[in-house]
């Protein structure tokens, strides 16, 4: 069987985003692997049909997982859809499939590889599907920050990483008795951590960290931001010693675009409208909203809302458009008037999915995401802690 595996580790220098040095097989230099170029000019209908055929051929040997931000022409092929948390649960539970084809981004595929069985192989249909937020925290930076905080005497500090981070960052948390959280379980995980340590060190999403800290009544001035490019993260020793939470200076390029004025504008435009946002949005937006939660929470909230209700949703465009199409008895619109699409999620196109599946059906594993053993072992400890605390 031919295989193009991408091993991810700190040594490989890969972060949560896309590996840059490795490209998918593009020619017949690896015997038997179909080149991606053969797929780029196919028509939509043919791609759809061939994906269905390849799935049928693979049967139970393959499971396709799809994150809610995937485009419609990809999500329609997913066997299971979910937010980051639900998909990690699925990856750890579906041990019958040999192949997990992950329609999502790189850090999700890494987590699936860590949580799945040894006999399973995880495939990311396009290796360029990374996450700009995950790329904002590199292991060396986190380790430097950790050492500096320890030197200041902040030893009762719990590291928590958001799921949107590289495997080596999760492994760092595993090694330091820390944990992983997602947007759907950040509050119980913060609760767990605050019962064990005085302070939290949260990375890489400043906003999810602050929004969750506020839920625990932690004052804004006791949550300081650590900028890895500055000495002591840009803080004084006193600020760090007084802080309850040290927040990494990272953000989502999609959710970071929503502004408080968008909330005001939508309320003025549509009297009675409810504002529902993802907690990766900045605090100024979340604090003005009616509800906030993960993508799974957003979907459930709209589904259960009464007919005739109006919703402005602050999250990725593909999901908001899908909700608007699915619930025609309700009014659903994007919170901001301009496009907010996750460009890296969008990299997973039907062409790549078909290319991966047809190669798999012929016994050729392409774009495998493989986390090195040592990183996977520690990252799994942090992920398993998360899965156990619900
Ligand atoms: P959830 O899947 O936790 O809702 O997070 C959204 C996201 O940004 C995934 O990258
Ligand atoms: Fe990363 Fe934001 Fe895209 Fe999620 S939506 S994958 S956090 S860039």
Mean pLDDT of 293-302: 97
From the candidate CATH numbers 3.90.420.10, 3.40.50.300, 3.90.1150.10, 3.40.50.10800, the one assigned to the domain spanning 2-132+344-372: 3.40.50.10800
pLDDT (tens digit per residue) in 138-169:
999 999 999 999 999 999 999 999 999 999 99
For residue 96, the number of C-alpha atoms closer than 13 Å in the C-beta half-sphere is: 4
Q: Is the pLDDT of residue 119 over 90?
A: yes
Give the residue-averaged pLDDT of 262-275: 98
What is the Å distance from ligand 2's center to 288 Cα? 22
Closest to 75 measured CA to CA, from 328, 299, 358, 251:
299
Q: Which of 89-103, 224-238, 366-380 is least confident?
A: 89-103
How many Å apart are CA 202 and CA 302, to the nearest integer?
30
Residue 21 has pLDDT above 50, yes or no: no
- Asked whether residue 109 carries a pLDDT value surpassing 70, the answer given is yes
- List the structure tokens of 49: 């049909």
**Beta strands at 223-226 and 199-203: parallel, antiparallel or unpaired:** unpaired
CA distance 388 to 229: 35
d(CA 50, CA 75): 15
Tell me, in angstroms, the distance from the centre of ligand 1 to residue 268's CA: 29
C-beta of 81 in contact with ligand 1 (< 6 A)? no
**Mean per-residue pLDDT, 309-316:** 98
Residue 204: is the preceding peptide bond cis (ω within 30°)?
A: yes
Cα torsion 271, 274, 278, 281 to 10°: value is: 30
Q: Judging by DSSP bridges, how do beta strands 157-162 and 245-248 pair with one another?
A: unpaired
Q: Which ranges in the chain are annotated with CATH 3.40.50.10800? A: 2-132+344-372, 137-249, 256-334
pLDDT above 50: residue 15: no
- For residues 286-309, give the mean pLDDT: 98
- Token reading at 259: 């502004």
Q: Is 83 in the pocket of ligand 2 (CB under 6 A)?
A: no
Q: 83 CB less than 6 Å from ligand 1?
A: yes
Tokens 């009675």 appear where?
272
CB 208 within 8 A of CB 138: no
Whose CA is closest to atom 1 on ligand 2?
A: 131
What is the pLDDT averaged over residues 9-36? 49
Sequence-separated (6 or more) residues with CB below 8 Å from residue 152 = 237, 240, 241
| Ligand 2 lined by 342 (C-beta under 6 Å) | yes
Is the C-beta atom of 318 inside 6 A of ligand 2? no
pLDDT of residue 5: 56
Pocket test for ligand 1, best of 67, 82, 85 (most atoms within 8 A of CB): 67
Q: How far does the centroid of ligand 2 lie from the alpha carbon of residue 54, in Å? A: 29
| Distance, CA of 345 to CA of 61 (rounded, Å) | 24
Nearest ligand 1 atom to the CA of 345 is 10
Give the least confident one: 30-44, 52-66, 172-186. 30-44
The average pLDDT across 306-325 equals 97
Residues 6+ apart with CB under 8 A from 383: 88, 111, 114, 115, 170, 174, 180
The pLDDT assigned to 339 comes to: 77
1.10.10.10, 3.40.190.10, 3.40.50.10800, 3.40.50.1240: CATH of 256-334: 3.40.50.10800
pTM, to two decimals? 0.92
How confident is the prediction for the chain on average, in pLDDT? 92
Locate 232 and state its tokens.
């002591």
- Is the CB of residue 364 below 6 angstroms from any atom belonging to ligand 2? no
Element housing 371 (H / E)? strand 365-371
Distance 253 CA to ligand 2 centre (A): 7
374, two tokens: 């040592």
pLDDT value for 90: 87
Q: Decide if pLDDT at 95 tops 90.
A: no
pLDDT of residue 108 exceeding 50 = yes
Q: Minimum mean pLDDT among 12-16, 140-144, 282-286, 305-309: which range?
A: 12-16
Q: What is the pLDDT of residue 23?
A: 40
Q: Compute the distance between CA of residue 49 and CA of residue 228 in angstroms, rounded to an integer.
A: 48
Does 18 have pLDDT greater than 60? no
Predicted pLDDT of residue 24:
46
Considering the segment(s) 137-249 as one domain, its CATH architecture is: 3-Layer(aba) Sandwich (3.40)
Question: What pLDDT was estimated at residue 29?
Answer: 46
Average pLDDT of the residues in 196-200: 97
């Amino acid at each position: 069987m031919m295989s193009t595996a991408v091993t991810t580790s700190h040594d490989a220098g890969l972060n949560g985003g896309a590996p840059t040095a490795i490209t998918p097989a593009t020619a017949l230099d690896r015997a038997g692997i179909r080149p991606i170029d053969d797929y780029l000019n196919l028509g939509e209908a043919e791609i759809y049909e061939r994906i269905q055929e390849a799935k049928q051929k693979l049967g139970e040997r393959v499971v396709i997982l799809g994150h809610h931000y995937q485009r419609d022409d990809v999500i329609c092929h997913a066997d299971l859809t979910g937010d980051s948390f639900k998909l990690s649960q699925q990856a750890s539970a579906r041990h019958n499939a040999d192949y997990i084809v992950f329609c999502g981004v790189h850090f999700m595929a890494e987590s699936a590889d860590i949580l799945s069985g040894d006999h399973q192989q995880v495939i990311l249909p396009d290796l360029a599907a990374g996450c700009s937020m995950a790329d904002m925290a590199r292991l060396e930076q986190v380790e430097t920050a950790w050492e500096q905080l320890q030197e200041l005497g902040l030893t009762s500090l719990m590291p928590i990483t958001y799921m949107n981070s590289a495997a080596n960052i999760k492994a760092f948390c595993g090694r330091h008795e820390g944990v992983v959280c997602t947007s759907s379980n950040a509050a119980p995980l913060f609760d767990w951590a605050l019962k064990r340590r005085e302070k939290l060190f949260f990375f890489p999403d400043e906003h999810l960290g602050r929004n969750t800290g506020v839920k625990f009544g932690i004052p804004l001035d006791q949550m300081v931001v650590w900028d890895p490019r500055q000495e002591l993260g840009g803080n004084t020793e006193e600020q760090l010693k007084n802080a309850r939470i040290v927040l990494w200076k990272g953000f989502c390029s999609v959710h970071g675009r929503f502004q408080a004025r968008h909330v005001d504008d939508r309320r003025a435009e549509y009297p009675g409208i409810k504002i529902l946002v993802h907690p990766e949005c900045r605090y100024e937006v979340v604090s003005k909203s009616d509800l906030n939660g993960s993508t799974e929470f957003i979907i459930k909230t709209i589904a259960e809302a009464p007919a005739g209700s109006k919703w402005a949703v602050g999250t990725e465009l593909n999901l908001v458009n899908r909700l608007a199409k699915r619930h025609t008895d309700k009014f659903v619109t994007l919170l901001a008037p301009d496009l907010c699409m996750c460009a890296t999620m969008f990299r997973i196109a039907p062409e790549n999915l078909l290319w991966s599946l047809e190669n798999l059906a012929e016994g050729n594993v392409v774009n495998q995401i493989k986390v090195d053993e040592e990183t996977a072992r520690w990252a799994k400890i942090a992920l398993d802690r998360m899965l156990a605390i619900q």
